[in-house]
Chain A
Amino acid sequence: MAETRTAPAHARRNGRAPEPEPSEERSDGSLLTRLLRTVADRAQRRIPRADLDERDPDFIRERLPLMWLVASIWFRGEVRGLGNIPDSGPVLLVGNHSGGNLTPDTIVFTLAFNAYFGVERAFYQLAHNLVLAMPALGSLRKFGTVAASPQNARKALESGAALLVYPGGDYEVHRPSWKGNDVDFDRRKGFIRLALEQDVPIVPVVSIGGQETALFLSRGDRLARLLALDRMFRLKVLPISLAAPWGLNIGDMLGHIPLPAKITIETLPAIDVRAEFGPRPDLDEVYDHLVRLMQDTLDALAAERRLPVIG
């Protein structure tokens, strides 16, 4: 069961991602711990407020050709079933996540969604706080990327937008390459609560190929716990991979050059949770159904592939 936390009241009000509570042992600890805390504090301060108005349709429109080049030539992206997404109104798109911090599946899907529905349709994506805190990735906010928090997810759906979430988050995105064809949300069910609370349909988005863009060796979750990254950065992993141009890549904080793996994404029919599971659905039952559905689709997509990377 995923750990639950309560965000400070001020964070909840302004939609900002929860900041860590001041801890008593803040002044003591080893030099390394203090250094890490300083870095953590600075990173937290860099996390921008979730302002949905920062999404800039003109900016997205002007970047679509470049995204199209990357998606079409480098990743040979293929997105199927976009017609399964309701043409209007709020919708929760739930995807499996792959490819380390660069997440090629998000690039390919964002392009496909914006080209299909037009940049005029509001579309937001939740991302890890640290991704948004990176100076080079500030423009992501113009694409509609907001820090992953229940408050921001609610705000986006209440505004009538389509919202893309990856429940597996950093845990799933850094899974070892030999588990590349597994859907692994780490039993996180917050997205189902969100869909029920906002009464919006869930559209599963299944992708394959992202975990072939590098050789992912380990999540490094023990290492992350040892370094207290979970408490300081909300990072449950410290991934270890072999990736260009670094060779051995620990943390993947600076990203990497992804191998040109073919990315295939399939969008499944929308699920109205209450219509399918009754007025008071059992979260475990919905979770198991959704993961099984996505896993079956992922298995089918995997069966289509003949070779890794080439597809």
Chain B
Amino acid sequence: MRVSADIQVSAPQRAVWEVISDPTRQLSFMSGITRWEVAGDQAEGLGARYRMLLRVGSAEVGGLIELVEFVAPCDIAWTSVTGVDQRGRWRLREAPDGETRVELRLAYGVAGSGLGGWIAEHVAAPTVTGHLRRSVQQLKRLVEAEQVRARAAARRTAQRV
């Protein structure tokens, strides 16, 4: 099952990238995520691994994931090592007026689970899509609020000078 959500953020691509690529900030904007921990010595970048869990219905599903693409400031892609099969991607693209188009994609399932798995994937889809939609909305609020604060701080500094 493949679900996605996208949004336009009124901030430069680099500002959005700084937030989504920081593993310590995932819990502050990712909806439904109950756990996001660095697994291993590498905290970020290509090959970094995280233990993540997402609440869907009666269970917190997820497992160990590994970043398989890390192209600043455009793409982060991951795939599951253990747990539910999943592939995800953050896709940032420059938009007019200094804005950024943000897309979050997730493909998930359990190979070999047959008809039960197919039904479960479709029943879970609205919940997972809702998490993705809220995640990009929260990301937008977070980044845009930081932009406003940064601009205000810059104004204050300029007035003092």
Interface residue ranges, A against B (CB under 8 Å) = 58, 61-66, 68-69, 71-73, 75-79, 82-83, 108, 111-112, 115-116, 118, 120
Asked whether, in the complex, the Cβ of B58 is within 8 Å of the Cβ of A61, the reply is no
Q: Are B59 and A79 in contact (CB under 8 A)?
A: yes
Complex: A108 Cα to B119 Cα, angstroms: 18
Q: Can you list 14 A-B pairs, Cβ within 8 angstroms, ordered by A?
A: A62-B114, A63-B116, A64-B59, A64-B84, A65-B110, A65-B116, A66-B113, A68-B57, A68-B124, A69-B119, A82-B60, A115-B60, A115-B83, A115-B84
* Interfacial residues, chain B to chain A (CB-CB below 8 A): 35, 53, 56-64, 82-84, 110-114, 116-117, 119-121, 123-124
Q: Is the Cβ of B114 less than 8 Å from the Cβ of A68?
A: no
Cα separation A231 to B42 with both chains bound (whole Å): 59
Contact call A79/B110, Cβ cutoff below 8 A = no
Once the chains are docked, how many angstroms separate the CA of A69 from the CA of B118?
A: 11
Contact of A71 among B58, B82, B117, B121 (CB under 8 A): B58
Q: Which 5 A-B pairs have the closest CB atoms?
A: A72-B57, A65-B120, A66-B116, A77-B58, A115-B59
Residues of A within 8 A of B124 (CB): 68
> In the assembly, what is the distance between CA of A263 and CA of B145, in Å?
40
Q: When the two chains form their complex, are residues A64 and B113 in contact, meaning their CB atoms are under 8 A apart?
A: yes
* Neighbouring A residues of B110 by C-beta, 8 Å: 61-62, 64-65
Give CA–CA (A64, B113) in the complex, Å.
8
Q: Is the CB of B58 within 8 A of A111?
A: yes
Residues of B within 8 A of A73 (CB): 57, 123
Select the residue from B59, B119, B121 with max chain A CB neighbours within 10 A: B59
- Give the shortest distance, in Å, between A295 (CB) and chain B (any CB): 24
Q: Which residues of B contact A76 (CB under 8 A)?
A: 58
List chain A residues, Cβ under 8 A from B112.
58, 61-62
**Closest-CB distance, A109 to chain B (whole angstroms):** 10
Q: Inside 8 A of B62's CB, which chain A residues have their CB?
A: 115
A72–B122 Cα distance when bound, in Å, is: 13
| B58–A79 touching, CB < 8 Å | yes
Contacts of A65 in B (CB 8 A): 110, 113, 116-117, 119-121
Residue from A63, A108, A120 in contact with B58 in the complex, judged by beta carbons closer than 8 Å: A108
Known: A72-B123, A77-B59. 9 other contacts (CB 8 A): A61-B110, A62-B114, A65-B117, A65-B120, A68-B56, A75-B58, A111-B58, A115-B60, A116-B60
How many Å lie between the Cα of A78 and that of B110 in the bound state? 22
Is there an interface contact between B117 and A62, defined as CB atoms closer than 8 Å? yes
Complex Cα spacing A61 to B113, Å? 8
Distance (whole angstroms) from the CB of A81 to the closest CB of chain B: 11
Residues of A within 8 A of B111 (CB): 62
Q: How far is the CB of B124 from the nearest CB of chain A, in Å?
A: 8
Rounded to whole angstroms, the CA-CA distance of A74 and B56 in the bound complex is 15
Contact (A63, B60) CB under 8 Å given A69-B119, A116-B53: no
B83 / chain A contacts, CB cutoff of 8 Å: 115, 118
Q: A66-B120, A73-B123, A118-B63 are in contact. Are A112 and B58 (CB under 8 A)?
A: yes
Could you tell me if B58 and A68 are in contact, using CB atoms closer than 8 angstroms?
Answer: yes
**In the complex the two chains form, what is the Cα distance from A155 to B32 in whole Å?**
37
CB distance from B8 to the nearest CB of A (A): 33
Contacts of B64 in A (CB 8 A): 118
User: Across the interface, do B61 and A115 meet the contact criterion of CB distance under 8 Å?
Assistant: yes
Closest to A112 in B: B59
Q: Which residues of B contact A115 (CB under 8 A)?
A: 59-62, 83-84
Q: How far is the CB of B9 from chain A (nearest CB, A)?
A: 32
Cβ of B121: which chain A residues have Cβ within 8 Å of it? 65
Chain B residue, CB-CB nearest to A70: B58
Given A62-B113, A63-B113, answer yes or no on A68-B60 (Cβ-Cβ < 8 Å).
no
Asked if B59 contacts A68 (CB within 8 A), the reply is yes
Bound state CA distance, A79 and B58, in angstroms? 7
A82 to chain B, nearest CB (A): 7
Contact B82 A120 (CB under 8 A): yes
